Amino acid sequence: MLNRTAVRPEQLATYRQLVATIHYANQRTPEQIADRIRAAGIVGERGSVDASPVGLWLVDELHTAGIPAETYSWVGDDFTVYDREGRVLARIRIPSGPTAGTLHELECLVNDLDHDFADLVEGEPLGEADRAELAAIEPLE
């Protein structure tokens, strides 16, 4: 007998659309995806697990495909999409490190205060004095 988990049709559709969108993104550069985010009029929050411009763009792409996604969380490599009632629609891994794709790379550029992507987030980019202060912070062991 097969051990299977029941999956709602919208969960399968969400997962398939996420796979297709991530594949699409990985065939492009971070700059090209940033241009798509700008064209969609998306402005997110730097360092957010549920309102980053990259995550909001993924949810927007799901909406465009007719998926009833409302919110998401992106913690580490795990990207989870929720419907209006807070039920999980899909969970997918967006790898970091040496196997990182375009989306994770762009997310890091946004969070690292890269000026080329400052328009994707709310607020002013940090100045040189702020960057020097951040660089002087000792990493945790």
Q: Each residue of 108-139: pLDDT tens digit?
A: 888 877 667 888 888 655 555 556 666 777 66
How far is C-alpha 59 from the geometric centre of its chain's CA atoms? 9
d(CA 33, CA 83): 24
**pLDDT value, residue 83:** 94
Whole-number average pLDDT of the chain: 85
Q: Check pLDDT > 50 for residue 1.
A: no
How far is C-alpha 35 from the geometric centre of its chain's CA atoms? 15
Mean pLDDT of 98-102: 83
12-30, pLDDT tens digit by residue? 899 999 999 999 999 999 9
**pLDDT value, residue 4:** 45
Give the residues across from 93 on adjacent strands: 78
The answer to pTM > 0.95 is: no
SS3 68: coil
Residue 51, CA atoms < 13 Å, CB-side half-sphere: 7
32-84, pLDDT tens digit by residue? 999 999 999 999 988 888 999 999 999 999 999 999 999 999 998 999 999 99
**pLDDT value, residue 2:** 45
**pLDDT value, residue 28:** 94
**pLDDT value, residue 3:** 42
- Per-domain residue ranges of the chain: 9-135
